[in-house]
Amino acid sequence: MIARIATEISLNKLFDYEVPPEMEASISVGSRVRVSFNNREVMGYVAELVSQPIEELDASPLLPGTPKYRQKLKPILKIVGKQSLITPKVKDLALWMATYYCCSIEVALRSLLPEAVRREREGWKKQLFVRYNVEAPEPKKLTQRQQEILAFIQKHGELPLVDLTEQLSCTADTVRRIERTGKISVAPLKVGRDPYANVQILPTKALTLNQEQAVCLKQITEAMDSSDLATRKPFLLFGVTGSGKTEIYLQAIAHALQKGQGAIVLVPEISLTPQTVERFKSRFAEEPLRAEVAVLHSHLSDGERHDEWHKIRRGDAKIVIGARSAIFAPVDPLGVIIVDEEHEHSYKQEESPRYNARDVAVVRAQMEETVVVLGSATPSMESYYNTSQGKYTLLRLSKRVDDIQMPQVAVVDMCSEIRVDRGIPLFSTRLKEAIRLQLEESRQVILFLNRRGYATQLQCPDCGYVAECTYCSVSMVYHRRAQLLKCHICGHHIQAPYHCPECRKSNIRHSGAGTERVEETLQKLFPQARIRRMDSDTLKKKEDYRNILNAFGAGKIDILLGTQIITKGLHFPRVTLVGILNADISLHRPDFRASERTFQLITQVAGRAGRGTDEGEVIVQTFTPSAPAILYAKHHDYESFYADEIVSRKELHYPPSSRLALLTIRSMDEEKLQLTAQHIREQLDGESFKSIRPLVINGPVPALLERSMGYYRYHILLRTVRMMPLSRKLFELFQSVKCPKGVSFTVDIDPLDLT
């Protein structure tokens, strides 16, 4: 028996090793092993097991050019751990992902397993762990080296001491010295930590479904029970906020449990709040449908993540709720996959492998012959298109459960607002009045502005100087409280200048108001109001988010002001007014999805208003009140928006009617970059790509974000109709192109970010 191994060392290849006869019974795909590699012992996982004689082994179809071996294979030294960490089904998913998203198998396998699980060695639990203490005060007087080590620990939250000393080549003594500051602790791993140990779970019972819900659930459970694959098409559950989608998810999961199967629930990271988790835990807290719910999200420490993962792998936790990467959880057998808020862009990973968890969910469901339900109040154009093509089944919930009306949406044309003191006012008269009214009646207000900082631009009116980032082609954002200019791309920051650095005059002006500026104005307009700003500048610790929301829920805040962080899944009955301060920010982005994003934004934000007994009101401020996204959102009319938008997508050959692949080439050396980009273009025009039809190639052209972190960037955009054949070709290209030193090249399939 021969094992093809992906090693921990990042190489774009699988390596073949002999499986000693005594290991044959205990090895399987996904087993972790130790092998000798270039005279070093390294960790690896088994990607494939094959039994043919060596000569007959063909190059793996996924890896063109894998050489046939000449010499005798080396044996596997050892199998680590009793159980393979990847189920064979999930392994197939990784192979699909590598091909489709053009990444190496090793990278794909890597994303299947959390680092904490991958790096696990024997005797893990007996080892010493270093843990970062968030609450402890910042230590003073650390050496540069100690600061580096501390930053590394902070990034990981918690990690084995040996990993730390190995990766940073430092000694345990150095770590112990940092421990004396109290900022970290070194201790054996605690077993079975439960991040929800302090949350009281009160069991809930299934609700009696209304007519519409019952119809939807019936279709889902019938598909789960059916052996006919045709009925198991992915479902798109399209229902306004508060229409009872979550109740359907819960009952579909209950159905899976009754059949002895498990479930995966994906939610966007940001809505993975304790409220959401509690709702799932509560429903499955009691017999006969008692089931443990594992939670996977990015704020878990390595130790916590490790425990959750093993709970799932052992089958102790049948239900997994988590963000993006939870789609790879080793739930087996899997009865249903739920993807809530399927339109959310956070399902897409913006680094390799650049997968979209929603789409991976659809493929996983297909591979495991199980049912997937994508839910949204504002489905993505892609998913809705798929229902019109008969690829997905549309399930519809047309009204809110309790017959509460959808809120009134008023659109204020900012062009007709009087221009006081030169600039454009932040608040229209209408919005100001509405806020005043709410405050008088002790109700709550949510205000939304998708721009943080004080001002997006600092300009000198005398010489025209604009503060731009040294490393990126964007202007720096003024943060008044910190008196800094910050680059929102790379984080570079400098002291905000009082005088123009070019002409030394002191007339410097700012424009483009952000949340910090709005907060200031708001406080002047409503001095009595208790205002809280919520954006990534004010959310420093992981508890901040929850604390602010708790305070808001308890009525200790009158006005909550924030960026998109506040648009998600929050449920506050006393919020009767939601204001969108500047809808044009998202509408005029240079992105073909700008209109769709704006429609989603207004609809989702509007969904926050009037969830209690009082009717809600939404006020949208814009300079383009007649834009379709705004008009249709005003009337809560998704279908008309879709019908309007799909026409232009088709005309311009954009998704969902075409498929996109985006190649990005970057380098600090612009000339080398241009040459490489041109070379890649020639390859794309060559023989090998002739079989892909249709294929439209644009570029190379400088990317919208021409420079980022000191790198120049070029784009080549490809359009086709079926992605997989193009993916295969791009993967070959990706492997064969030898970029000159200092030039790198990435492939993004189904990109969401085109900047």
- Measure CA 369 to chain center: 25
Residues 484 and 496 sit within 8 Å (Cβ to Cβ): yes
**207 touches which of Zn ion, ligand ADP, none (CB within 5 to 8 A by kind)?**
ligand ADP
Residue 718's CB is within 10 A of a number of other CB atoms, namely: 24
**242 touches which of Zn ion, ligand ADP, none (CB within 5 to 8 A by kind)?**
ligand ADP
| R_g over Cα of the chain | 27
Residue that the structure tokens 């936790």 belong to: 317
**492 touches which of Zn ion, ligand ADP, none (CB within 5 to 8 A by kind)?**
Zn ion
Reduced to 3 states, what is the DSSP secondary structure of residue 390?
Answer: coil
Per the structure block, which two tokens stand in for 412?
């204020």
Residues that bind ligand ADP (CB under 6 A): 207-210, 213, 239, 241-247, 401
Residue closer to ligand ADP by CB (options 245, 318) is 245
Residue closer to Zn ion by CB (options 445, 487) is 487
Give the C-alpha separation, 24 to 240, whole Å. Answer: 54
Residue closer to Zn ion by CB (options 471, 545) is 471
Report how far apart the first and last C-alpha atoms of the chain are (Å, whole number). 48
Question: What are φ and ψ of residue 77, in 5° steps?
Answer: -80, -40
- Tell me, what DSSP letter sits at residue 324? G
**456 touches which of ligand ADP, Zn ion, none (CB within 5 to 8 A by kind)?**
none
Residue 431, H or E segment: helix 429-440
Question: What are φ and ψ of residue 120, in 5° steps?
Answer: -60, 135
**450 touches which of Zn ion, ligand ADP, none (CB within 5 to 8 A by kind)?**
none
Give the C-alpha separation, 724 to 315, whole Å. Answer: 34
Residues 394 and 236 sit within 8 Å (Cβ to Cβ): yes
Residue closer to Zn ion by CB (options 427, 711) is 711
**469 touches which of ligand ADP, Zn ion, none (CB within 5 to 8 A by kind)?**
Zn ion
Residue closer to Zn ion by CB (options 490, 594) is 490
Nearest to 667 by CA among 705, 703, 712: 712
Reduced to 3 states, what is the DSSP secondary structure of residue 588?
Answer: coil
In whole angstroms, how close is the CB of 401 to ligand ADP at the nearest point?
4
Q: Which residues pair with 186 in a beta bridge?
A: 130
Residue closer to ligand ADP by CB (options 204, 366) is 204
**471 touches which of Zn ion, ligand ADP, none (CB within 5 to 8 A by kind)?**
Zn ion
Residue closer to ligand ADP by CB (options 249, 689) is 249
Please give, one letter per residue, the 3-state secondary structure of 78-133: EEECCCCCCCHHHHHHHHHHHHHCCCCHHHHHHHHCCHHHHCCCCCHHHCEEEEEC
Nearest to 448 by CA among 273, 628, 609: 609
Residues 424 to 453: which contact Zn ion by CB under 5 A?
Answer: none
Residue closer to ligand ADP by CB (options 11, 207) is 207
**490 touches which of ligand ADP, Zn ion, none (CB within 5 to 8 A by kind)?**
Zn ion
Residues 35 to 54: which contact Zn ion by CB under 5 A?
Answer: none
Give the C-alpha separation, 248 to 235, whole Å. Answer: 12
In whole angstroms, how close is the CB of 468 to Zn ion at the nearest point?
9
In whole angstroms, how close is the CB of 261 to ligand ADP at the nearest point?
22
In whole angstroms, how close is the CB of 602 to ligand ADP at the nearest point?
17
Residue closer to ligand ADP by CB (options 30, 268) is 268
In whole angstroms, how close is the CB of 271 to ligand ADP at the nearest point?
11
In whole angstroms, how close is the CB of 607 to ligand ADP at the nearest point?
8
In whole angstroms, how close is the CB of 553 to ligand ADP at the nearest point?
14
In whole angstroms, how close is the CB of 252 to ligand ADP at the nearest point?
12
In whole angstroms, how close is the CB of 494 to Zn ion at the nearest point?
11
Give the C-alpha separation, 502 to 365, whole Å. Answer: 59
Question: What character string, x for contact with Zn ion (CB under 5 A) and - otherwise, covers 453-492?
Answer: ----------------x-xx--------------x-xx-x
**210 touches which of ligand ADP, Zn ion, none (CB within 5 to 8 A by kind)?**
ligand ADP
Give the C-alpha separation, 684 to 310, whole Å. Answer: 44
Amino acid in position 41: E
Q: Determine, following the binding rule CB under 5 A, whether residue 312 of this chain makes contact with Zn ion.
A: no
Give the C-alpha separation, 87 to 368, whole Å. Answer: 11
Residue closer to ligand ADP by CB (options 157, 244) is 244
Give the C-alpha separation, 302 to 117, whole Å. Answer: 8
In whole angstroms, how close is the CB of 612 to ligand ADP at the nearest point?
11
Give the C-alpha separation, 602 to 173, whole Å. Answer: 55
Q: How many helices (H) and strands (E) does the chain have?
A: 21, 30
Residue closer to ligand ADP by CB (options 611, 707) is 611
- Burial profile 307-346: b = 16 or more Cβ within 10 angstroms, e = fewer: bbbbbbbeeebbbbbbbbbbbbbbbbbbbbbbbbbbbbeb
Give the C-alpha separation, 470 to 708, whole Å. Answer: 9
Residue closer to ligand ADP by CB (options 208, 416) is 208
In whole angstroms, how close is the CB of 491 to Zn ion at the nearest point?
7
Q: Give 400's contacts (C-beta < 8 A, 6+ positions apart).
A: 240, 241, 242, 243, 406
Question: What are φ and ψ of residue 573, in 5° steps?
Answer: -60, -25
Q: Give 360's contacts (C-beta < 8 A, 6+ positions apart).
A: 93, 97, 327, 328
Q: Where are the alpha helices (DSSP H) in 491-569?
A: 515-525, 542-553
Residue closer to ligand ADP by CB (options 243, 393) is 243
Residues 499 to 528: which contact Zn ion by CB under 5 A?
Answer: none
Q: Give 597's contacts (C-beta < 8 A, 6+ positions apart).
A: 586, 589, 591
In whole angstroms, how close is the CB of 397 to ligand ADP at the nearest point?
7
**408 touches which of Zn ion, ligand ADP, none (CB within 5 to 8 A by kind)?**
none
**243 touches which of ligand ADP, Zn ion, none (CB within 5 to 8 A by kind)?**
ligand ADP
In whole angstroms, how close is the CB of 735 to ligand ADP at the nearest point?
44
**487 touches which of ligand ADP, Zn ion, none (CB within 5 to 8 A by kind)?**
Zn ion
**84 touches which of Zn ion, ligand ADP, none (CB within 5 to 8 A by kind)?**
none
In whole angstroms, how close is the CB of 388 to ligand ADP at the nearest point?
22
Give the C-alpha separation, 548 to 730, whole Å. Answer: 46
CA 579, 585, 591, 592 torsion-angle sign: positive
Residue closer to ligand ADP by CB (options 242, 616) is 242
**193 touches which of ligand ADP, Zn ion, none (CB within 5 to 8 A by kind)?**
none
**4 touches which of ligand ADP, Zn ion, none (CB within 5 to 8 A by kind)?**
none
**472 touches which of Zn ion, ligand ADP, none (CB within 5 to 8 A by kind)?**
Zn ion
Residue 377, H or E segment: none
In whole angstroms, how close is the CB of 686 to Zn ion at the nearest point?
36
Strands 2-7 and 509-513: unpaired
Residue closer to ligand ADP by CB (options 164, 401) is 401
Residue closer to ligand ADP by CB (options 213, 622) is 213
Number of shown-chain residues binding Zn ion (CB under 5 A): 7
In whole angstroms, how close is the CB of 284 to ligand ADP at the nearest point?
15
Contacting residues toward Zn ion, per CB under 5 A: 469, 471-472, 487, 489-490, 492
